[in-house]
């Protein structure tokens, strides 16, 4: 039976907004032990390095959820330290898989679809109705890709709008605490609780009062040419087309835009994120934190080696600084298409595919080379590099969903436009599928 939602009597008082509502937390967000009951929720990051770690404090978003009355019912599986697109890199718990669609054959696990990474456990907890909402973290798409793969809503606020205090870092200039729910309205409700400046996180910012566009004002919807890849699956292409047609039917204007650095952004991300990780994870040396680094899983080791080389004397000019330049181009291109002063006028939001296609099966993933998984982040990475808010909503047809072939549609907004992103995401929930 799906988890209960909040009652309407609570919605005007943030201290009671989530009273008695079950919420799950990704295993890289700190949760304090309860000395009264001697119970603990491990902050292990799905890694053997931290399997015995017990946090003495709650991450700020977790503390805010508790203050709003939420029941923290458990921690969720993830790719180790957030490094993965499929949630199969989990040395402690094994891969996170979706429940198979009917008729179910639990014995044939190889044909079951993966949940997506790295917040796959949070996505499946929401998908199956175990919880009303779950927190995840999104570095390059780790909330949005699982949302697309599991048919739920995944919201990544803009960088800094939610405190990262208590989030075990992967890449500190990219990491964002995100929300997974069954609806956009639920995501908004949780976001209203966890957002805001935190003096314990120097990267957090005060969020000004929302000033959404009036409901009846037509919006200009940007459609990026570079997201129309030849490798886009039929399911994702049709979902994107349905979403655009639906928005046009509501009176909004579609306009093509260009974001030339979309593909280079993916390569830049896989230099910058591992480089930051190689620094952030250096603390896990068995002396200060965790156990010896030899206990890292294969994917973490792979990315740490890439990151260490990118920061080496030979790699810093050739790779790291070039990647930073690409990141600057990505930011400038987004600023340009959102700029109301540009010659053709700015767009309010961008609407794009969320993933190349439905989630692959465990069998299909096993046949891939490790680096092949990286391309799955191509639609989510650019917004992360620019620190923009983005939400993924379900876009598959009812027939596709009955087969477990979920795909999502992504809405990207300018900095500070979380409310507008959620507003357009809510519009897409009403499209015929």
- Residues noted as catalytic: 26, 118, 142
C-alpha span between 145 and 243 (Å, rounded): 18
Q: Which two tokens stand for residue 171?
A: 């890449």
Residue pair 366/113 in contact by the 8 Å Cβ criterion: no
Of 46, 43, 47, nearest in space to 295 by CA: 47
Distinct helix (H) and strand (E) counts, the chain: 13, 10
Residue pair 257/350 in contact by the 8 Å Cβ criterion: yes
Going edge to edge, which strands form the sheet with 408-413? 71-76, 22-26, 133-138, 176-181, 153-156, 390-394, 408-413, 349-353, 220-224, 253-257
Phi, psi of 337 (to 5 degrees): -70, -25
Q: How far apart are the first and last CA of the chain?
A: 24
C-alpha span between 31 and 59 (Å, rounded): 6
- Cα angle: 78, vertex 161, 393; to 5 degrees: 55
Token pair 């040419």 in the structure block, residue = 225
Q: Which residues contact 307 (CB under 8 A, 6 or more apart)?
A: 271, 273, 274, 275, 276, 277, 278, 279
């Amino acid at each position: 039976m799906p988890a209960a939602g909040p009652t309407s009597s609570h919605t005007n008082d943030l201290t009671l907004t989530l009273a008695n509502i079950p919420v799950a937390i990704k295993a890289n967000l700190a949760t304090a032990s309860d000395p009264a009951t001697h119970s603990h929720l491990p902050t292990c990051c799905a890694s053997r390095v931290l399997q015995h770690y017990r946090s003495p404090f709650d991450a700020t978003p977790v503390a805010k959820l508790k203050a709003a009355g939420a029941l923290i019912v458990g921690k969720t599986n993830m790719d180790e330290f957030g490094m993965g697109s499929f949630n199969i890199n989990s040395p402690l718990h094994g891969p996170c898989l979706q429940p198979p669609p009917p008729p179910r054959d639990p014995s044939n696990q190889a044909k079951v679809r993966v949940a997506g990474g790295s917040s796959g456990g949070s996505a499946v907890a929401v998908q199956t109705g175990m919880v009303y909402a779950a927190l995840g973290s999104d570095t390059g798409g780790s909330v949005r890709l699982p949302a697309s793969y599991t048919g739920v809503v995944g919201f990544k606020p803009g960088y800094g709008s939610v405190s990262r205090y208590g989030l075990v870092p992967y890449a500190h200039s990219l990491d964002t605490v995100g929300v997974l729910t069954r609806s956009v309205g639920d995501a908004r409700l949780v976001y209203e609780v966890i957002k805001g400046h935190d003096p314990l996180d120097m990267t957090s910012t005060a969020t000004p009062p929302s000033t959404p566009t009036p409901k009846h004002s037509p919006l200009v919807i940007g459609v990026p040419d570079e997201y129309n890849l030849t490798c886009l699956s039929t399911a994702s292409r049709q979902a994107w087309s349905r979403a655009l047609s639906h928005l046009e039917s509501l009176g909004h204007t579609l306009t093509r835009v260009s974001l030339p650095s979309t593909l280079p952004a993916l390569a830049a991300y896989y230099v910058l994120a591992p480089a930051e990780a190689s620094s952030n994870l250096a603390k896990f040396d068995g002396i200060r934190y965790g156990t010896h680094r030899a206990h890292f899983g294969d994917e973490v080791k792979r990315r740490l080696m890439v990151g260490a080389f990118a920061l080496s004397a030979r790699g810093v000019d050739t790779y790291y600084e070039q990647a930073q330049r690409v990141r600057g181009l990505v930011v400038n291109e987004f600023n340009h298409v959102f700029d109301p002063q540009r010659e053709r006028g700015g767009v309010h939001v961008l609407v794009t595919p969320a993933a190349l296609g439905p989630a692959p099966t465990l069998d299909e993933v096993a046949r891939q080379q490790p680096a092949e998984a990286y391309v799955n982040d191509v639609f989510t990475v650019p917004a992360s590099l620019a620190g923009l808010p983005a939400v993924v909503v379900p876009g598959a047809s009812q027939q596709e969903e009955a087969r477990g072939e979920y795909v999502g549609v992504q809405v990207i907004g300018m900095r500070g436009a979380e409310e507008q992103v959620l507003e357009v995401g809510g519009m897409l929930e009403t499209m015929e599928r």
